[in-house]
Amino acid sequence: MPPDDPTSLKPTDPVPADVVPVVSIENLHVHYGAIHAVRGISIEIPPGEVYGFIGPNGAGKSTTIKVLATLIGHFTGTAKINGIDVARRPQEVREQIGYMPDFFGVYEDLNVREYLHFFAAAYRIPRKQRKTVIDDVLELTDLTHKIGDQVDSLSRGMKQRLALARVLLHDPQLLLLDEPASGLDPRARIEVRELLKALTEMGKTILISSHILHELAHLCTRIGIIETGEMVAQGSLQEIYRQLQLMRIVHVQLTGSDDGVVDQIRKIKGVADVEQHVDRLAIQLLEDHAAVEDLHEALVNLGVKIHMFQPEAMDMETAFMKLTEGKTA
- Return left, alpha or beta for 58; rule: phi > 0 is left, psi -120 to 50 is alpha, else beta: left
Give the pLDDT confidence score for residue 45 in this predicted structure: 95
More confident residue, 116 or 244: 116
Give the pLDDT confidence score for residue 257 in this predicted structure: 72
pLDDT in tens, 15-29: 555 678 999 999 999
pLDDT in tens, 115-169: 999 999 999 999 999 999 999 999 999 999 999 999 999 988 899 899 999 999 9
What phi and psi values does residue 312 have, to the nearest 5 degrees?
A: -75, 145
Cβ(160)–Cβ(177) below 8 Å: no
Interatomic CA distance for residues 88 and 96, integer angstroms: 15
Interatomic CA distance for residues 107 and 121, integer angstroms: 16
Please state, as a whole number, how many other Cβ atoms lie within 10 Å of the Cβ of residue 303: 10
More confident residue, 6 or 57: 57
What phi and psi values does residue 303 have, to the nearest 5 degrees?
A: 85, 15
CA 258 to chain CA mean position, Å: 46
Domains of the chain and CATH, by start: 6-242 (3.40.50.300), 247-313 (3.30.70.100)
Would you say residue 3 has pLDDT above 50? no
